[in-house]
Structure 1
Amino acid sequence: MKRTALTYAAVALAAAVIAVAAVVVADRSADADTTLESPPPEAGWGPRHGATEHVDWDSELAFQGCCDDSVEESDYSRDGGPAFRSYLRYGDERVADGPRAETHTARWDESRFGPGDTVYYGFSVYLVSTWEPDSSEDIVFQWHTEPEDCETDKPPSAFLSVQPEGMWRLRVNSDDDPCTTADSVEKTGFDLADAAPGQWHDFVFAFRWDSTDTGVVKVWHQTDLAPGWEQVLDTTGPNTFNDAEASGYLKWGLYKPAWNDGPTDVPSRVVFHDNIAFGAGFDAVDPSG
């Protein structure tokens, strides 16, 4: 039987404050090195509980959507099923102060991350063939971050979006101040690859989470129509917040910030996610494997 978001208890978490980012185009490299040197043992390696975790409908998930069809289980998947289908329309009732149809892991302790953790993340995302360019971005994956006691709100540590010009872009937010404010967040953007619709896009992200210059982000990308991993980002620098505890978790689906202010060029969006995993190495989370 098909399961929908309303099958589960919805958790209304505060929406991220999304600011305009300064964009730095990522250097492309033919180097397909899929390793990331382990940090010292006391800093942690991989998920906080050690094992690789593969996300499915039986995982500890929660949902944010207005309607029965906001998030659904779908047989249309990367490798045979079942995948996550997210559907968002302009005018849908807002959830957590924003237009969204998302799934998240805030209840799943193993998914949590914080400064000092090094974790690989893999997933596949499909933009439907009828996907049309829009005047505003569509956020499809977030490494979300919760505010601490001295903070009122803060943006995700990172998020992946489809840009109006048709590119995948990674936005990274960071702050080494223990109490983050809207003015203290450092924002950087990296263009990754062409977000061509009508095909599965496979991603592997490797983060060494840190609010200082020791942070690392590596990204690899391929599609099911053009298999062959390409490393599209290898950068160092701050990539999260100076938090005392692991406050980060995963979110995926659709979030459309511009619809807070009015309509854009498109009235609705549909996206599919599959083979989401996090672990301590590239092969462990490879969504095509």
Structure 2
Amino acid sequence: MIKLRRMSTSLCTGALLVAPLIGPGVAHATTEALRVDYESGTPDSGVAGLTTTHATAADASGVVRPGHGGSYAVQHKVTLGDPGYESNGAPRSESATDLLASGRFDVGDEQRYEFSLLLKDWQPYAPGDSTSGDIVFQGKYAGGNVPAFYLMTKRNEIAFRSPHLNRQSTVVADLRPYVNRWMEFRVDARWTTDGTGHFRVSVRLPGQSTHQPVVSYENVRTYQPVNPADHGYLKWGLYRPSQSLGNGDVPTRIVQHDDIRVLDLT
């Protein structure tokens, strides 16, 4: 079930037409391609084809109350050193849109990705802890490639990174005041194989009335998988790459996500 929140809309050929979005010198008429709000009370949000966690632990993923914009949100949990919280041999528990046409991206697409994030009882970084980051949202390529982009917690900040551009920027300077509170994120992406693409990130923290632009990578090649990939897709949850108990990492982390949306800006 894909639920549409009440807003000022016009219906055109079955798509939800959303009020124009204004970017740097550009106005966009947008359509909402996908909404995952978990109001079905199930881990797949009632969306046929939405992939849920492959981790086998009973509490690796599930719906919780309350959500950000409604009654429910999804929660992912990873405990290091426990194979029940591993997927494809790595400590992670995630949901994905790989099997959803409405959750994919390809060369030529221009899209906005929105999600809300809550760091549940998050243990802050302390001197001597591992500096490895926890990935909470990513744009992936099919075919086993590194992500096109991801957002991660690192020490006590949240950062946006594009591995193939080798660029990383802080988007939340200090996450500690927002533990157990909902934060909202937007990533605008123009997917190109030349230097005309962009990534633009905005954040709305508790107490802020609107999303604030925080990072912009302009005139860059955004679509560049190493291996052949006929599409990209989104993943959200918790992925703890390069982390282990022997490195002094926090054993258990928990995140919640809600109100994931894909908007077509093309």
Q: TM-score, normalised by structure 2?
A: 0.76
8 Å contact kept, 1:205–1:217: yes
Structure 2 residue identity aligned to 1:278: V
Q: Which residue of the other structure, out of 89, 106, 117, is the alignment partner of 2:98?
A: 106
Partner of 1:80: 70
Runs of 4+ that moved beyond 6 A = none
Matched, 1:247 2:231: yes
Please identify, of 204-213 and 55-64, the stretch whose mean Cα deviation from structure 2 is larger. 55-64
Distance in 1 (CA, whole Å) between partners of 2:228 and 2:261 is: 25
Distance in 2 (CA, whole Å) between partners of 1:215 and 1:131 is: 36
Distance in 1 (CA, whole Å) between partners of 2:62 and 2:106 is: 30
Q: TM-score, normalised by structure 1?
A: 0.70
Structure 2 residue identity aligned to 1:222: R
Structure 2 residue identity aligned to 1:101: S
Higher strand share: 2
Report the alpha carbon displacement of residue 117 of structure 1 after superposing the two structures with TM.
0.7
Q: How does 1:1-289 map to 2 (within 5 A)?
A: 34-35=22-23, 37=26, 51-55=32-36, 56=38, 57-59=45-47, 60-62=49-51, 63-93=53-83, 94-133=86-125, 134-135=129-130, 136-147=132-143, 153-164=144-155, 166-174=156-164, 186-194=165-173, 195-196=175-176, 197-236=179-218, 237-241=220-224, 246-259=230-243, 262-280=246-264
Structure 2 residue identity aligned to 1:251: K
How many residues are paired up?
Answer: 224
Structure 1 residue identity aligned to 2:88: A
Give the gaps of 5 or more residues in structure 2.
1-20, 39-44
CA 1:202–1:170 in 2, change beyond 3 Å: closer, same or farther? same
Q: Secondary structure at the match of 1:52?
A: strand
Give the gaps of 5 or more residues in structure 1.
1-32, 40-44, 148-152, 175-185, 282-289
Indicate the percent of aligned positions where both proteins have the same amino acid: 25
Distance in 1 (CA, whole Å) between partners of 2:236 and 2:33 is: 19
CA 1:129–1:154 in 2, change beyond 3 Å: closer, same or farther? same
RMSD: 2.5
Report the alpha carbon displacement of residue 272 of structure 1 after superposing the two structures with TM.
0.4
Structure having greater relative contact order (Cα 8 Å, sep ≥ 6): 1
Report the alpha carbon displacement of residue 52 of structure 1 after superposing the two structures with TM.
2.6
Distance in 2 (CA, whole Å) between partners of 1:34 and 1:65 is: 40
8 Å contact kept, 1:160–1:168: yes
Q: Secondary structure at the match of 1:115?
A: coil
8 Å contact kept, 1:222–1:229: yes
